[in-house]
Amino acid sequence: MYPGCRSSDVAPPLQGDCMRCEGCGTELPDNAKFCHQCGRPVAGASLQDATSNVDMNDAHDVANVANNSKGTLDNTPVSDVANVVINSKDVPADALGAPAGSSTSDAQNSPDAPAEEAAEAPQGAQPQEDLAATSSLKEVEATQVRPGSPQVEVGDTVPVPTPVDATKEAVRLDLTDEDLVDSLVTDPSRPGSTGRMRVYAAPDPIAEEQAAEKNHRLGLITAAVLFVAALAMLAAFVTWRMEIWGGKTLPDTVGMDQAAATSLLEGEGFSVATTEVVSDNAVGKVVSQEPAGSRRVDPGSVVALGIGVERSVPEVEGMALEDAKEALHDRSIDHVRVEYENSDNEKGTVIAVTPSAGSVVAADEMVTLVVAQPYTVPDVVGLSEDDAKEAVERAGLTYETVMVASDQDPGTVVSADPAVGSELKANSKVTLTVSSPYPASPYAALEYLHCAPKDLSTYLRQQGYSLLYGATRDDVVAATWAGSAASPQVVIGPNPFAEYRGFQFWATDGLAAGAQIQGVRLTFDQDSAPDAAGALKVDQATVNSLMEACGLKTSSGTTTTATPQTLAPKASQAPEFIAKAGTQGSDTWAIVVWRANDQVLAAVCVAPTQTLETNLSAAGISLDAYEGSMANLAATQLLIKG
């Protein structure tokens, strides 16, 4: 290394002193074109800028690879470094730092070159065919050698391996001895000689410094950008935490009193809307909040608060039923019972509520809604008269009754007018048609048996009858009722063939007292006989007409007839008569027509069959004595023993 030079990797100067910048005096390498300290162009930059360094240290022997007679390399190891110029058609001269169009001959004629290197270098011989086949050889011209290497002269040409890329900073070829012998420095005269060569492209300090400066500036810019970005992110995070942007944190007000919660939210800049929420243990407090607390929301947002209220019955009167149910459900009242009541209010509207509006109720307490329905004629058909009247009154209506003969049980409602289901105003009148509890006519003997005693007493009095004789024995009626001349006489007692009469200071109406009816006899003359019977005669035609007029039929048992000729036992003095008897259902009947003096009389007797047999037996009368003929028994009891 020469004194004052900056690097041992730079070729030594041609004249013994390092180059210096004319502007600042900084020592410069020989190949510098610009001062790396102040940037001043270097005057007289030489062709040496394009040189490369070849280190041949530690080479044992170098074969003589030139085929000319100018000189050869000896066996002496080469320990110094020779600068060589790559003279190749494949590498442009400007890539090596030499001016365009320059050549190695220019370098040889440079005034700075030593005198011994001024001689023209002869052209080297072409490489051998085997060497050319294994590597691409370039001409290398030695521009400067150290003293002590007399075998290498200026102009000598030696083969080198694969072309050096001058654009590389440092291309190093490490070859084995065999590679060097065969491929690099094989000398035909001295086979087996080996060596090691290092080839360097000459660095460009100015370009390196500019690239380093550019990289430095880019690094500073990148660091600055990253720093600014990190600072911006930190500032954004801090300002977000300070709620300068990104909304405000919403306080959690659940459990607070309504007034305190409202004040807190409004103080933070939020708007408040409230709704009622039924609560059993948080009345007047916030039970729900939307949006929920601790969330970030926009300033001025509306916060919905659910305020606890008591479970109280709302005002529902006048509402439609479904609306009323919904109002109760909104107050968490789900146990609802509905009742209907006749009313002049609009159909289907609530007219009453129990408990009343405003009452606080438990979650499982029942609330009753009374709903208006029109005054409607209830379904009373088939009910008893008394039950039908009660139903009509409950419906807010009035009634009147009309008795009619009917196959229905006596006292049963057979129809209503207006019809069942009709909608009326309050206190409208409904006419109830009732199956009469009374006999359809004074001649309907069997119907007397099935009337209630009180009803029969009422009926007889309504028909103008009066009580001639009345008594009660063992809760059985014994009475005689007489009416107008056009009405038959009515005898009621346990034996329908017997007479019940006598003096009484005070007659007892056993019917009105509810005593039993066990037998009935109707007696009439021509004036009181049924019109359908026509003129009464003692014949079978009159008997048949009386049967029809009195509603008697032969439904079971045996019908018997009797006349004085068939009477048994025989009676010495028997009036002219005709008798007929039979059964109808569970009842027994008998008709006797006879002549008394100048008029014809008739009697119709009825009694429950079982009761009649019992009562006759108790009186000592046996049907067997009359040859089993109820007609004979009836005629005998009425005409002969009567």
pLDDT, one tens digit per residue, over 384-414 is: 999 999 999 988 899 999 888 787 887 899 9
pLDDT at 484 over 50: yes
User: Mind spelling out the 3-state secondary structure of 151-193?
Assistant: CCCCCCEECCCCCCCCCCCCECCCCCHHHHHHHHCCECCECCC
Instruction: Point out which residues pair with 561 in neighbouring strands.
Output: 580
Mean residue pLDDT across the chain: 75
More confident residue, 18 or 134: 18
Q: Which helix (H) or strand (E) holds 394?
A: helix 385-394
Alpha-carbon radius of gyration of the chain: 76
Among 209, 165, 217, 166, which residue's Cα sits nearest to residue 29? 209
Contact present, 592 and 581 (Cβ < 8 Å)? no
Neighbouring-strand partners of residue 34: 41
Q: Which range among 568-572, 611-615, 627-631 shows the weakest confidence by mean pLDDT?
A: 568-572
Query: At 334, which amino acid appears?
Result: D
pLDDT of 144 higher than 80: no
Would you state the pLDDT for residue 482? 93
Looking at residue 294, its pLDDT comes to: 78
Top mean-pLDDT range of 5-14, 171-180, 538-547: 538-547
Strands of the 198-199 sheet, one edge to the other: 157-158, 139-144, 81-87, 52-55, 198-199
| 282: confidence class by pLDDT, cuts 50, 70, 90 | confident
Strand pairing category for 599-608 and 520-524: antiparallel
For residue 44, what pLDDT is reported?
58
Question: What's residue 267's pLDDT?
Answer: 83
Return the ∠ at Cα 535 (arms to 532 and 537), rounded to 5°. 115
Please give the DSSP secondary-structure letter assigned to residue 340.
E
Give the tokens for residue 177.
């001895």
d(CA 255, CA 353): 33
Instruction: Name the DSSP class of 105.
Output: H
- In the beta sheet, which residues pair with residue 360? 312
What percent helix, strand, coil does the chain show, rounded to 5? Answer: 25, 25, 50
Which domains occur in the chain, in start order?
Answer: 248-309 (3.30.10.20), 312-373 (3.30.10.20), 377-435 (3.30.10.20), 445-641 (no CATH)
Q: How far apart are CA 288 and CA 377, in angstroms?
A: 52
pLDDT at 409: 83
Is the separation of the CB atoms in 609 and 602 below 8 Å?
Answer: no
Q: Mind listing the pLDDT tens digit for each residue in 132-141?
A: 333 333 333 3
pLDDT tens by residue, 285-305: 898 988 887 788 888 788 989
Residues 509-548 pLDDT 10s: 999 999 999 999 999 999 999 998 889 999 999 999 999 9
Check whether 106 has a pLDDT greater than 90.
no
Chain-centre distance of CA 486, in angstroms? 85
pLDDT of 485 strictly over 70 = yes
Is the pLDDT at 565 greater than 90? The verdict is no
Quote the CA–CA distance of 599 and 594 in Å, as a whole number: 9
Q: Is 209 helix (H, G, I), strand (E, B) or coil?
A: helix
pLDDT at 209: 86
Q: What average pLDDT score do residues 466-479 get?
A: 93
Element (H, E) at 456: helix 453-462
Greatest pairwise CA separation for the chain in angstroms: 212
pLDDT greater than 50 at residue 25: yes
Question: What is the percent of the chain where pLDDT is above 70?
Answer: 71
pLDDT digits (tens, 9 = 90+) for 443-453: 999 999 988 99
User: What does DSSP assign to residue 565?
Assistant: T
Closest CA to 203 of 246, 229, 154, 166: 166
Residues 621 and 319: their CA atoms lie apart, in Å, by: 78
Distance separating alpha carbons of residues 521 and 518, to the nearest angstrom: 11
Overall average pLDDT of the 359-368 stretch: 88
Q: pLDDT value at position 203? A: 65
* pLDDT band with cut points at 50, 70 and 90 for residue 379: very high
Minimum mean pLDDT range among 221-225, 420-424, 436-440, 458-462: 436-440
Reported as a pLDDT band with limits 50, 70 and 90, residue 572 is low
CA distance 258 to 303: 13
pLDDT: is 253 or 30 the higher one?
253
Supply the DSSP string of 269-329, one letter for each residue: T-EEEEEEEE-SS-TTBEEEEESPTT-EE-TT-EEEEEEEE--B----TTSBHHHHHHHHH
Q: Which of 475, 448, 473, 471 minimizes the C-alpha distance to 460?
A: 448
Q: Does position 48 have pLDDT exceeding 70, yes or no? A: no
Residues in CB range of 603: below 8 A, 6 or more apart: 521, 522, 523, 591, 592, 638
Number of helical (H) and strand (E) elements in the chain, helices listed first: 12, 28
